Amino acid sequence: VALADADSSAVTAWIRTRRLPADDPARQAALRAIVDVPLEAAELCRAVAIEVQPLLERGYPPALPDGQVGVQLLEVCQRAQCSLVQANLPALADANLIETTRTCLEQLNVKRKESHD
């Protein structure tokens, strides 16, 4: 619930500041939030998918398809959140933050691909 509230606050802040100059600190703070919140959501999706993996390996056989679908939904949510991050990243003025965030996105993508190997 906290992450959903943070997302709502981030979007609200972005709507309030989107017409300000690109380098305005309030606008940049709002942009950072609409990058940070979906990145956190993507990381959470990945962490949960990893955490439930042992259950899929030794769980109750009739329930395994449900668990597999759940992991697939987590992966779709992770990709969607990463897409939101990528869409908003170019508007940030902080080059270090952009690079750090891109590295996080790459790591999430690598971990997702490794889980399918």
Write the burial class of residue 38 (CB in 10 Å: 0-12 exposed, 13-18 middle, 19+ buried).
buried
Predicted confidence at residue 90, as pLDDT, reads 94
**Whole-number Å distance between alpha carbons of 49 and 4:** 19
CATH of the domain at 47: 1.20.120.680
Instruction: Please list the alpha-helical segments (H only) found in the chain.
Output: 2-17, 25-58, 64-88, 95-116
**Whole-number Å distance between alpha carbons of 79 and 60:** 28
Predicted confidence at residue 117, as pLDDT, reads 60
pLDDT above 90 (res 2): yes
Structure confidence by residue, pLDDT tens digits, 16-63: 999 999 999 999 999 999 999 999 999 999 999 999 999 999 989 999
DSSP structure class, residue 18: T
Give the domain range for residue 52: 2-116
Work out how many domains the chain is built from and give that number. Answer: 1
Predicted confidence at residue 109, as pLDDT, reads 85
pLDDT (mean) for 84-93: 95
